Amino acid sequence: MSAHPVAGKTTATGTPPPSARRLLLPLALAQFICSFAGSNMNVMIADISHDLHTTVKGVQIVITLFLLIMAILMIPCSKLTDRWGRKRCFTWGLALYGVGTVMSAVAPGLGVLILGNSVFQGVGTALLIPPVYILATVWFSDLTSRAWAFGVISGAAGLGAAGGPLIGGLITSGISWRAAFVFQALVIAAILLLSRRLTDPLAADPTKPFDLIGAILSGVGMFSFIFGILQAGTNNALLAIFLVIGAVFLVGFALFIRARERAGKEALLSLGLFRNRTCNLALVTQNIQWLVLMGVSFVVSVFLQEVRGYSAIKTGVIFTAATIGMIVPSVTAKRLAERFTQRALVIAGFVFTVAGIGLLLGLVVAWKNVWAFVPGLTLTGFGIGAMLTPSVNLVQSSFPEKLQGEISGLSRSVSNLGSALGTAIAGTILVAAVSHGNAAYAWAMAALTLFAILGLVAALRLPSKAGHKPPTETQSP
């Protein structure tokens, strides 16, 4: 199928025309607000805990469940885009997300906040995000313009994730934490207005089968695994039980889809997607990027508020360093894609990220001045910003248009699973009884450093020619 009749064309300089950029705006804003939702609550932990009479652990559960529900439902919802249509899923997702923001804004207790933020916003995000990447992929057909489009979207994701603490801190200190959810509702209303002219270049197929059993097996497996990690340090028996349950369901999921494919039936996720080495390694880098980003954001935010006693606004201002660091490579994604291979950009990103976390670990423990956070956050933000776009591009460009719904869901699920793991693992180390104060912070940062090094190893194993050309329709996974 051809690309979108407008977006597929580029100017003489290789940049898509204004009409294409207008089409991309609501998609980028949608990705921004969903990433914002995953990180802005980090600076509200003290305020929410006090207002709703809960603990840091309680707020951590809200944040982790939001990210986990996205990860669980991203693959099933990506399959539903083929059945219901990309535009319809995008709109329905925005509506659910909007309802969740209103519920969260008026939440009288932790239970309603979980229902609004974790459930409604999580489900809404899972519905609206796959269409963002599917539409961008089919609208922009060549590697350079696609790199530009993914650069805009990934830049919006990075800006939302890194800028969430600053924006959330400003709103929380100036008004209240509840107003931050009102802000999200207003952005959702704006996206709904901007998306009225969006068209779906791929026809929906209402007759396409949906693998409900596969969705249940994968969902229960991932939920149990993350929920088990959250029990670390508080209930080790539950930790072991849920990790085993998660492993059993995920193995069962793999065996089920294998049997379903052998029987000639469509499965929730094709095992053929995992036969592409470039895609597999790029998915690993995606997962670890978001694990590190959300882990650093949560750990630094909690440390600043609970150990250093900083306010929401002061915590948010410190995160400006990470925001600036992420913006620079994101806005130059197209130019970087023209000069360097996608592999080189991912490798460089992890090198900067490892160095940044190292500075956050060394300087902060040794120096109590607030400026100790700036070099590390800037380098970490720069590193992650440099590799967000090429990693997405490597994954999406590894498959033809007919598989974009499936690979987009897998890609987003892997990224959000990384976010949930980052908050769960690093946050649990910080909050649990491993140690207190600087020592707990050091343990959490050391764990994130190890993950970043694993990401670098995966990036080094990417094929040297990875990402030079998008595949043709005749290529198979």
Q: Identify whether the C-beta of residue 347 lies closer than 8 Å to the C-beta of residue 456.
A: yes
- Give the confidence band of 466 by pLDDT, cuts at 50, 70, 90: low
Residue 260 pLDDT exceeds 80 = yes
- Tokens (6 digits) for 51: 């207002």
In 3D space, the residue among 14, 1, 16, 23 whose CA is nearest the CA of residue 138 turns out to be 1
In 3D space, the residue among 326, 322, 354, 431 whose CA is nearest the CA of residue 63 turns out to be 431
Alpha helices (H) in 397-437, listed in sequence order = 404-431
Rg of the chain, C-alpha, whole Å = 21
Q: Quote the pTM value.
A: 0.78
Express each pLDDT in 271-308 by its tens digit: 888 888 899 999 999 999 999 988 998 888 888 888 88
Express each pLDDT in 303-360 by its tens digit: 888 888 888 888 888 888 888 888 788 777 667 777 888 899 999 999 999 999 999 9
- Separation CA 409–CA 169 (nearest Å): 31
Residue 132, C-beta contacts closer than 8 angstroms, at least 6 positions apart: 27, 30, 31, 90, 153
Q: Give me the pLDDT at residue 20, please.
A: 63
